[in-house]
Amino acid sequence: MTRSPTVPGGTLVLDSEGLAKAVLRDRAVTAWLALARADDLRVVTSAATLVEVVHPRINRPALEWTLSRLIVEPITELVARHAAALLADAGLHGHKYAIDAMLSATTLAAPGPVTILTSDPEDLGVLCGGQVTVIAV
């Protein structure tokens, strides 16, 4: 049985470094994005990731173009509660892990299989509990 063309085959998630590298058109991240499009994968990031990636030197037009080509998932109360539970389960807390936890909760809610491109594979691997493929970028 083949899947419907309107149903994505999985999800590619970008953390702040993945998104920043997409904005800079990094070759490795650009290749992942091309594969995602070819395989009809959803490409997402968390709204919390925007807080990390936006800084005075970022190329805003390139950022806006990149964001127009992916889905920015909101941080809802449900996502925040899930993120807090992920932190507790991993024995972590505090602002150092907060955005990673929100991204992890977003990642775990995405249709699978899920791959996340990150500069922090250790923490995201722990927070996601081995349920997703974590790729260092």
If we measure between CA atoms, which residue out of 105, 134, 104 comes closest to residue 121?
Answer: 134
pLDDT band at 51 (very low <50, low <70, confident <90, very high): very high
The pLDDT, as a whole number, for residue 59 is 95
What pTM, to 2 d.p., does this model score? 0.90
pLDDT for 66-75, tens place per residue?
999 999 999 9
Q: Which CATH superfamily hosts domain 11-136?
A: 5'-nuclease (3.40.50.1010)
If we measure between CA atoms, which residue out of 41, 95, 51 comes closest to residue 74?
Answer: 51
If we measure between CA atoms, which residue out of 35, 95, 45 comes closest to residue 66?
Answer: 45
- Mean pLDDT, rounded, for 50-56: 92
Token pair 């505090």 is at which residue?
94
- Mean pLDDT, rounded, for 44-66: 95
pLDDT for 3-32, tens place per residue?
445 455 799 999 999 999 999 999 999 999
pLDDT for 90-123, tens place per residue?
999 888 899 999 999 999 999 999 999 999 999 9
The DSSP element (H or E) to which 72 belongs, if any, is strand 71-73
The DSSP element (H or E) to which 136 belongs, if any, is strand 133-136
SS3 71: strand
